[in-house]
Structure 1
Amino acid sequence: MNFTWFISKKIAFSKSNKKNLSQIIIRIGQTAVAIGIIVSVITLAIGIGSKKAIKQKMADFNGHITIKSYDSNNSYNSSKLNKENVEIDKIKSNPYVSEVYQYATKSGVIRTEKNFAGVILKGVSNDFDRNRFKEFIIRGEIPKYSEDSVNNEVLLPEKIAKEMQLDVDSSFVMFFVRENDSPIYRRFKVKGIYRTDIKQIDDVFVIGDIKHIQKLNGWSPNEIGGYDIFIDDIEMLNEVFPSIEEAVGFNNYAEKATTTFSQINDWIQIFDTNIFIILTIMMVVVIINLIMVLIILIIERTNSIGMLKTLGASNNQIRKIFINYTLIIMVPGLVIGNIIAIILLYIQKIFKIIKLNPDNYYVSSVPVYINFWHIGIISVLAIVISGIVLLFPSYLISKISPIKALKFQ
């Protein structure tokens, strides 16, 4: 067994340690390590969880990637997609693509006896992923759309439902303006109420049957406004996007969800900076406490240092002994901190105790993403960085004279 490691363990697990005054300092150091790890793990889990949750919400409504006509530009009224040039089979065969469904949008006005609101009708077809959208439903259910008949049932966002005083099974009239023609209206029935907590969606989008938009625009049943494409992992979006972009064809273009909701995406990118700052502060706190512990241990064990030098131990060997000793002391704090952090994160994940204002944060409760690789990396980095930094205060050992140390009381 390595000499320095053997002596470190003997000192660390010695029963005499319990009687030393430095034991209080050691406990303070372990507590600081535990708190630092708790804050670091929770910060990383919440930061990454928030980014994933918000990105996923954007994508679950609009698709991770959207294909539309250049003529649509940024208009809420879809222009006819040039389907013939879209290599849809190539897109669907992409191993990262999970679903593709067609859509079209058209602006209109909901009118009731007491109020009115400008909205966007997003028409979807029978390929609409009802299971993906279930998490947003707060009342009612998702309509079923078929290829054969027109369905007048729609999903209404909660905000508009409250403003219009509408609920499940209510009916309302929506007015549309057609080019070079008089306004036309359609009557719809509310089948379900949804909420995504994303203002840009909840303020305007009504989901209904694409056949209404096809008739309003004078399109054939095969003509659509675009495709919503879903991939297996939103973190792979930048890697998958180029291959999708190559298959959209002439006069069409592909757009990522992070581009469609660019303001939200820019906001969540700030999370990376915040995570880095908090992790850095916690690491500094841990290191300062460990340096303090090491210095106190060196002072307390001055006689032992003198004895080891007298017996022929080099300064480097003694330094390694005390650095190993300090890192062994650090381990209980790491373990306890990780356990507490994981328990707290699971409690939040399951019970969603801490709530947020969705108008400001786009989510109604604090989201967490628990990744044990991340937790392990934080712990390993804490040990490695601490071990490197502790090299500097350990140079005090080389200043200790064996003769004076043996006389030290």
Structure 2
Amino acid sequence: MNTELFIARKLFFDKSNKKYLSHKIIRIALFGIALGLAVMIISVAVVTGFKNEIRSKIVGFGSHIQIINFDSNNSYETKPISKNQAFVPEIKKIKGINRVDVYATKPGMIKTDEYLQGIVFKGVDKDYNWDFFRKNLIEGRIPALNDSARVNEIILSEQVLQLLHLKLNDDVFIYFLNEDENLPRILQLKVCGIYRTGLEEFDNVFILGDLKHIQRLNDWQNDQISGFEITVDNFFSTEEIEQRVRNQVISYSEENSTILRTLNITREYPQIFDWLSVIDMNVWVILILLSVVAGFNMISGLLVLILERINMIGILKALGSPNWSVRKVFLYLSFFLTGSGMLWGNIIAIAIIIIQKVFHVVKLDPAMYYVDVAPVNFSILHILILNLASITITIVMLIIPSFLISKISPEKAIRFD
């Protein structure tokens, strides 16, 4: 029988403890632990949810990995490559790759009677995965692309539509200027769908339509494109998979053929991903501070418990209990009390996360945060890790003040009144 655990349980469940001053102090400490753990869980849920949401939106516009012409610069006016590459079937076999799509981009300008707006026309084929834009579509439909005739339909963002005072099913005139040409080339296309992602940096720029329009504007052949977009299953394996893709591209390259290069999404938009990394640092600061505060809350509670139980400590020592055995009684008791506070912290945090996830109570300004509601990521793994880390840190911090018990003399403790 574990005597120390038995005594700690009797002390924890003894209703007569309410008459002690420590009962009120412990309740305050437990409230601090519950509140601190709830804030930690909610902070991690919001930050991971926010990062996942931003990453998914950026990837939705540009995929995880791109294969483009080595001579293409950072602009959207690209050098063509052939879509009939020998390495494509081998890349599709790489574990972790979800799909490979072809695309082309060309900068242009939408002109109405009163307004001008610079845009990037992204052309795709009929096999393109529209899931991201279908999810963010607020009105209309996706262009019905095919392999034969050019389709004169596009989707554009709600932001661009409002800037140009257009509406669904309107015709728009888009002007494109090629190098060494003095007169622009013009496309008349119909707005068949309107999307909104909240990423104004992208919403203000991208319109999507038929790849064949860009091929005609650039005088390209039917098999010429700007590049390939590769979507992977796990964002965090992007670097590793890009290296394997690069190896395949290099191994299938031929002498005097077009030189290709790979580009992943983090290098294409480093400013956004650097900003997301800064958010991680802020969360770590919050977690460390709250863990320390919770630990000191329990230290103060443990010291009060020891002072009020000096008679009991003296009796246990007089009966032959070693210092470590008496210390274990109070460490077990602290564990029970900390667990009680953490239980309430979990209940509060999970309730708030579920309410936000279902009812979207907290709204945000998309112009500032790229999302219109505060996203939350409900992860059992994160909750378990935070609970384990919190209780471990708290108990470790309580070992030091428990040494005070070894300084208590049995004779003086029994006389203590």
Query: Which position in structure 1 is the counterpart of 2:401?
Result: 393
CA–CA separation in structure 2 for the residues paired with 1:143 and 1:308: 81
Which residue among 276, 279, 282 is the counterpart of 1:274?
Answer: 282
Deviates more, 1:303-312 or 1:62-71: 62-71
How many angstroms does 1:199 deviate by?
A: 2.6
State the SS of the aligned residue for 1:98: strand
C-alpha distance in structure 1 between counterparts of 2:35 and 2:338, whole Å = 12
How much does 1:85 deviate?
A: 4.8
Deviation at residue 141 of structure 1 after TM alignment: 1.3
* Equivalent residue runs for 1:206-285 within 5 Å: 206-249=207-250, 250=253, 251-285=259-293
- 1:1-400 equivalent positions in 2, closer than 5 A: 1-83=1-83, 85=85, 87-181=87-181, 182-249=183-250, 250=253, 251-400=259-408
Deviation for aligned residue 1:114? 0.8
Letter in 2 for 1:167: K
CA distance in 2 between counterparts of 1:246 and 1:168 reads 45
Equivalent-residue separation in structure 1 for 2:237 and 2:198 (angstroms): 24
Aligned length: 409
**C-alpha deviations, 1:25-68, integer Å up to 9, x for none?**
11111111100110010011111111111111100121111111
Whole-Å Cα distance in 2 between the matches of residues 136 and 15 of structure 1?
Answer: 56
Counterpart CA distance in 2 for 1:271 and 1:129 is 31
Determine helix, strand or coil for the equivalent of 2:144: coil
Tell me, yes or no, if the aligned pair for 1:139 and 1:192 is still in contact at 8 Å: yes
RMSD: 1.4
Query: How far apart are the structure 1 equivalents of 2:301 and 2:158?
Result: 57
Structure 2 contact 83–223 (Cα < 8 Å) conserved: no
Q: Which 10-residue stretch deviates more, 181-190 or 242-251?
A: 242-251
User: What is the TM-score normalised by the length of structure 2?
Assistant: 0.95
Determine helix, strand or coil for the equivalent of 1:142: coil
Deviation >6 Å, runs of 4+: none
State how far apart, in whole Å, the 1-side matches of 2:276 and 2:199 are: 13
User: So what's the TM-score if we normalise by structure 1?
Assistant: 0.97
SS in 2 for 1:290: helix
- Partner amino acid, structure 2, of 1:210: L
The question of whether the paired residues in 1 share the 8 Å contact of 2:134 and 2:142 is answered with yes
Does structure 2 retain, via aligned residues, the 8 Å contact 1:104–1:225?
yes
- Cα drift, residue 205 of structure 1: 1.0
Residue deviations 1:285-339 (CA, integer Å, cap 9, x gap): 1101100110000000000000000000111111111111111111111111101
Residues 34, 344 of structure 2: 8 Å contact kept:
yes
CA distance in structure 2 between the aligned counterparts of 1:83 and 1:213, rounded to whole angstroms: 14
Shift in Å at residue 209 of structure 1? 0.5
**Can you give the 5+ residue segments of structure 2 that lack an aligned partner in the other structure?**
254-258
- In 1, Cα distance between equivalents of 2:132 and 2:234: 14
137-146 or 275-284, which moves further after superposition?
A: 137-146
Query: Which one-letter code corresponds to 2:138 in the other structure?
Result: I
Retained in 2: the 8 A contact 1:82–1:252? no
- Letter of the aligned partner of 1:185 in structure 2? I
Gap runs ≥5 in structure 1: none
